[in-house]
Amino acid sequence: MAETMTAEAPGHTPEHHDGEHHTSTGLSNEKLAMWVFLGSECLLFGGLISTYMFNKGRIGPNDVGPEDVFDIPFTSVSSFVLLMSSLTMVFAVSSIARGDLRGNRIWLATTAALGATFVAGQVYEFTAFYSEGLGFTTNLFGSAFYALTGFHGAHVTIGIIMLMSLLVMSMRGNLGPERAETVEIIGLYWHFVDIVWIVIFTIVYLFPQ
Amino acid sequence: MATVTPDSPDTAHAPDEHASGGRHAHPSNWLYVKVAIYLALLTAFEVFTYFETVHGWGDTAIIVMLIIMMLLKFFLVVAFFMHLKFDHPIFWRLFVFGLILAMAVYMVMLTAFRIW
């Protein structure tokens, strides 16, 4: 039997019962802020992706290049894992919205575990590339590659920390249906990290070198 | 693409105005599963283009195909998983503004460096 919680938390009255918020726009300020933040993140990752595109061919004749190190089957599996973590994240959002706290905890933990699997894969990949001779300062391709994928990995790690925080809040009884929007906002961040990887995977790994 | 119907008591997904932050109907979990299946299939096609069998198609054709599939995946996640299809249009505009600004700035930069 799923654990449910329907009581409104004391002092937490962000919305009218018709879904409208007590703000001048009638929208949630927190959600609006997250979308503005994600819009600005497009500029950060746009800069890193274009820097990679600019530098990917800048390797010496005997340097290690993308075709020497990339392991597409391995990266495809990690991409699939991250993609599926978006599915478990929407399940976490829908379960908290209907008051299924146990389901919410399971899906939050699953999403964090899938994210951690992706990060572990990235750490393995970096280690393998380094042992094959591609360091951060080996050439411009290496610098651009590690900067781009490293920044993305840092974003995934921050997402995992936020998911674990939600899990701890839920365990302590501080995350009920009245806070469904908090889970939804963290979910937006998580899905953004996923769409950035969709772009990175195609441009960095799959484009013909 | 799949249609979205308002939640009813007999589905496993109750309406949640609290999570809305605006106006949007919530899709069922089955729709999310269908979106995930499309994403998995698109990823499989993308990976397929990496292998030798399609290299005879030429790099330009492969790049165009990859870009189309990437955009499809991007749209599926943003529209359905991030709820932009059902949410208030201002969220869509805010995100697209940042996206277009980033693309414009960096296309100009890459053109200035004659990367094409």
Least confident span in A126-140, A191-205, B55-69, B95-109: B55-69
pLDDT exceeds cutoff 60 at B105: yes
Range picked from A3-7, A38-42, A61-65, B24-28 for highest mean pLDDT: A38-42
* Residues of A whose CB is below 8 A from B34: none
* Residues of A whose CB is below 8 A from B91: 31-32, 35
pLDDT of res. B17: 41
pLDDT of res. B3: 42
Token pair in block for residue B50? 């990496």
Strand partners, A21: A15
pLDDT of res. B49: 87
Locate the domains of chain A by residue range: 29-206
DSSP 8-state secondary structure symbol assigned to residue A207: S
pLDDT level of residue B12 (50, 70, 90 thresholds): very low
pLDDT exceeds cutoff 70 at A133: yes
Instruction: Compare all CA atoms of chain B with the CA of A29 and give the residue at the minimum distance.
Output: B21
pLDDT exceeds cutoff 90 at A122: yes
The torsion angles phi and psi of A168, rounded to 5 degrees, stand at: -65, -40
pLDDT of res. B13: 40
CATH code reported for the domain at A29-206:
1.20.120.80
Q: Is A197 an 8 Å CB contact of chain B?
A: no
pLDDT level of residue A20 (50, 70, 90 thresholds): low
* Residues of A whose CB is below 8 A from B66: 202, 206-207
Question: How far apart, in Å, are the Cα atoms of A121 and each of A71, A114, A124, A161?
Answer: 11, 11, 5, 17
Average pLDDT of the residues of chain A: 89
Nearest CB to A83: which of B19, B43, B102?
B43
Percent residues over pLDDT 90 in chain A: 78
Q: Is B11 an 8 Å CB contact of chain A?
A: no
> What residues of chain A, 57 to 116, have a C-beta less than 8 Å from chain B?
72-73, 76, 79-80, 83-84, 86-87, 89-91, 93-94, 96-99
At B47-96, the pLDDT tens digits run 988 876 666 778 888 899 999 999 999 999 999 999 998 888 999 898 99
CB contact under 8 A, A83 and B36: yes
Mean pLDDT, to the nearest integer, of A9-14? 40
Range picked from A9-13, A60-64, B79-83, B90-94 for highest mean pLDDT: B79-83
pTM for the whole structure: 0.85
Find the radius of gyration of the CA atoms of chain A.
Answer: 20
Cα A191 to its chain centre, rounded Å, is 6
The closest of A197, A187, A185, A163 to A45, measured between CA atoms, is A197
Average pLDDT of the residues of chain B: 79
Neighbours of A185 (CB within 10 A): 21
pLDDT of res. B52: 66
- Give the span between the Cα atoms of B90 and B83, in whole angstroms: 12
> What residues of chain B, 60 to 99, have a C-beta less than 8 Å from chain A?
62-63, 66-67, 69-70, 73-74, 77-78, 81-83, 88, 90-91, 94-95, 97-99
Alpha-carbon torsion, ordered A62, B62, B96, A192, to 10 deg: -60
